[in-house]
Structure 1
Amino acid sequence: MELNKEKINYIIKKLSEGLYEKQEVISLTFLCALAGKSVFLYGLPGTAKSLIVRRIASAFKDSKYFGQLMNRFTTPEDVFGPVSLSKLKEDKFERQTEGYLPKSDFVFLDEIWKSSPAILNTLLTIINEKVYRNGSQEDKVPLKALIAASNETPPKGHGLEAMYDRFIMRLLVDPAKDVNNFKSLIVDKDINFDAELEEKISATDWEDLKVFIEEIKVPENVLNIICSIKDEIDEYNKGNNETIYISDRRWKNIVYILKTAAYFCDREEILPVDCFLISHCIWTLEENIDEVNRIVEKSVKNFSQISRQDFESLSSEVNTLKKDIQSECINDKNIYDTEDINGIECIKIHVDYLEEDSYYNRKYNRTLDLFIPIDKINSKGSFNPLYSDNRKINDFDCL
């Protein structure tokens, strides 16, 4: 299967059928599965968390799903398999892992924070290194995604921070809020665990993705956004007892998710708009979600716009071009190459310029396409150039 934007959108649509108000959670969890990263689903019981994971697993060919409700009585045997009696006779301690987590590619662990330390410590190695130490040997785990769920964040003082850090994306799963969706939900027939897909993603398809995703570029403005978010989080932590911790390993995994998102949007580099995904990756408690959203939005906004100095420079170039066009008898507009921007006939100007980022003391090359409406060329008043989507560039005027 060729995995492209259209194919991914089709799969998400099929996965979301019958799951009201869950498309965003499904889309983001599916994105993490494609990236090979783990997810924490935060929400009340009965909000279809396990069904979401089963649906996503069903999009993959020959998928092996393992699910377990965790509690304080859950043993390693319940998760990793029973001890092999035949191996014990040979003085070897090994588990029969077939049908259990070490042989599964999709794993769902509900009420994850109720697990015993013995289970959680083993999971750390599995998530990080994709290996399970079975007796004296290390078995490779075919894990694509480990999705955990709980109606609480990990309690303090129990040494769960390292495990929590492994879940790169943290998603809220709420009950249906729209009254019409709620009515449909309670009267609809039960839906199948498996999505009805004509073609599923093979293990080869999934492995091949890594090569393409790694090639996605991370431009300077995106790095500036990430650095700005990191600085803002550090400032937030100075004035709060409930700090937000983001490890270097976590930041690296976050960038990989951004690359994955860019790849499935048929792009060769991450755009600032992709950075809004970071909001789902860096909150620690429900109480700081709003602040995290504000920080991310602020940083994306600050480093997605061209500076005032650059706009003034561009404005000068546009006005110079306007004078040149006027001197060439603008009345015969057919001699110019024009483009239609939502019904407005425009002249396209491609501008290369050097943008200086005083905050990080960096300079980098930028490009911008400006569109000058034909009917504004001979006007006496000022006007604003346009972006390609017909939005006005309000930061400078052309005279």
Structure 2
Amino acid sequence: MNNEKIKAVMDEVASETAERDELIQCIAIALLAKKNLFILGDTGQAKSHCINLFRKRITDAKQFERLMSKQTDEEQLFGRLDLSSIIPGNMPFDELAKDVSYSVKLGEVQKAYKEYEIDGRTESLEKAHKLAKELSDIKEIICSVKDSAPKVITEDKIPDSHIVFLDEIFKANDGILNSLLTALNERVYTNEGQTVSIPVISFFSASNEIPDFSEIENQILKPLYDRFDLKVVTEYVSDRDNRLNILKKKQKSTVNANPTTITLSELMTMQNEVKCVKVPDSINELMDDILCALRKKDIHISDRKFFNYTPIVQAAAYIRGSDTVSVEDLLILTNYFWTKPTERETISTALTEICANPIKSRIDDLIAMADEAFEDFKSNSTNNRAFTKARKELLKVYTDLQAIECVYDTDRESVNTASEQLENISKQICQMAEFTIVPLSEMYAQEL
């Protein structure tokens, strides 16, 4: 596992900033999991600084940065049309150079002209001129027999980049939104009818506000916001010692003379290793509990978002140095699940409570289901169908309870206590319906 370098970069960036551990971890996870990251915070909170400190350590990755405004156009982001590609009988030079005959003849012309520059003889010039005429004829033939679709020059633009930082992305004008959306979501760019894949690993953006998407003029920006998988909120440095520490470093102008760097090849190797991190069934089951708990708290989490949580926690486990996702790696999902900043505390609290004691959380959910079944029965206790339905639901809850894997004696005791609660509820239902009491444990044993 090659996680030591990414951890070293994280530590170095953290040492040059203050109270930005959450942001730094999310930057690392975004790069490892090929996700997009949005940072919300007031001006002067080192949002861009953290991103730049991190991404400059990815040494041979092509990078693109742009401060967005209403004047930012598609050419500035994605490149401009190569006019030579739309002139009849013409073709861009780099396309011509792919033809072997053209390349060989071009070499001969260049060699002949160099000879003329050296000796200045008429014979040398005539030779170069003759070869140039032959080169022109070859070009004419190539342009007549080969299709040349309009081409966009994308060098040093988004389609030519691995890491992209679009500051204040919500200031983008409507004319470039579609191109941005497909680039962020699908990693493709379409121009002049041609769709090409782009090599971007992660898009980063920062802003001091999130648009009010309930306003008609801002609704068009909502899909753009949704394309950012991870989100972080920054605050001003709150601790006095941290502020003084950064202040002293700036006054001394200390510079890390030998920063840790990661090559693009090394990063890709890490990304492949992240994909191999195992996700136990128990984690997926716990995640389903988390999903249900958050939805009960009116946190909107789509199925698409839930089903795609895996790379985030795999990257968190990888950074930690583990080949298997554990409960503690799920805490990063606060930054994955929130849409409104006001949701952060609710999500974080729920994740912490459930992850701190997942078995207790699972038992509580099952008891809540049993209580709900009991309440439904009490509202119609004289109906035989209601009795059958309640007993069936209680048996399912009891079965799920027995399926909980207990590592510690205290966990088994909790399961036993919950089993007694279920038996008590079942007994009350039987008495109210005037049916013979059959313990859930016997019914469960019969189904095994």
* TM-score above 0.5, yes or no: yes
Shift of the 297–23 alpha-carbon distance from structure 1 to 2, 3 Å rule, reads closer
Deviations 1:92-121 (A, max 9, x none): 554321111111111111111121233232
Q: Secondary structure at the match of 1:95?
A: strand
Written as runs of structure 1 = structure 2, the 5 A alignment for 1:145-164 is 145-156=202-213, 157=216, 158-164=219-225
* Residues in 1 aligned to 2:258 and 2:198: alpha-carbon distance in whole angstroms: 26
Distance 1:188 1:104, change over 3 A: same
> Which of 400, 412, 422 lines up with 1:361 in the alignment?
400
Q: CA deviation at 1:249?
A: 3.2
How far residue 139 of structure 1 moved from its aligned partner, in angstroms, is: 2.8
Q: Mind listing any 5+ residue stretches in structure 1 that lack a counterpart?
A: 238-243, 309-355, 371-384, 388-392
1:132 aligns with 2:189: yes
Extract unaligned runs of 5+ from structure 2: 89-147, 364-394, 416-448
User: Which residue of structure 2 lines up, in the alignment, with residue 284 of structure 1?
Assistant: 339
Between 170-179 and 247-256, the greater mean CA deviation after superposition: 247-256
Is the contact made by 2:6 and 2:28 (CA closer than 8 Å) also made in structure 1?
no
After superposition, give the CA deviation of every residue in 1:290-317 in whole Å (9 maximum; x if it has no partner).
Answer: 2222222233245255988xxxxxxxxx
Q: In the TM superposition, what is the alpha-carbon distance from 1:359 to its structure 2 partner?
A: 8.7
State the secondary structure of the residue aligned to 1:171.
Answer: strand
Other-structure match for 2:265: 204
Give the secondary-structure state (helix, strand or coil) at the position aligned to 1:295.
helix
In structure 2, C-alpha distance between the alignment counterparts of 1:86 and 1:304, rounded to whole Å: 67
Deviation at 1:188, TM superposition (A): 3.9
Please tell me whether residue 18 in structure 1 is matched to residue 75 in structure 2: no
SS at match of 2:195: strand
- Tell me the SS of whatever aligns to 2:17: coil
Residue 288 of structure 2 corresponds to residue 227 of structure 1: yes
Are 1:3 and 2:2 matched, yes or no? yes
Q: Report the AA paired with residue 153 of structure 2.
A: Q
TM-superposition CA deviations, 1:141-163 (whole Å, max 9, x none): 22121011111223214133322
Whether the aligned pair in 1 keeps the contact of 2:229 and 2:336 (CA below 8 Å) is: yes
What TM-score do the two structures reach when normalised by structure 1? 0.70
Aligned-pair Cα RMSD in Å: 3.4
- 1:129 aligned partner, one-letter code: E
CA contact (8 A) 2:230 2:336 kept: yes
CA distance in 2 between partners of 1:104 and 1:97 (Å): 9
User: Is 1:54 the equivalent of 2:52?
Assistant: yes
- The amino acid that maps onto 1:20 is A
d(CA) in 2 for partners of 1:282 and 1:51?
25
Larger Rg: 2
Rounded Cα–Cα distance in structure 1 between residues aligned with 2:37 and 2:320: 21
- Matching residue of 2:303: 248
How high is the sequence identity, in percent, across the aligned residues?
A: 26
Deviation at 1:172, TM superposition (A): 1.1
The residue matched to 2:80 in structure 1 has which SS?
coil
Q: Is the 8 A contact 1:221 1:272 kept in 2?
A: no
Higher relative contact order (CA 8 A, sep 6+): 2
Residues 322-361 of structure 1 aligned to structure 2 (within 5 Å): 358=397, 361=400
- TM superposition score normalised by structure 2: 0.63
Quote the residue 1:83 is aligned against. 81
More strand by share: 1
Read off the aligned partner of 1:297 and give its amino acid letter: T
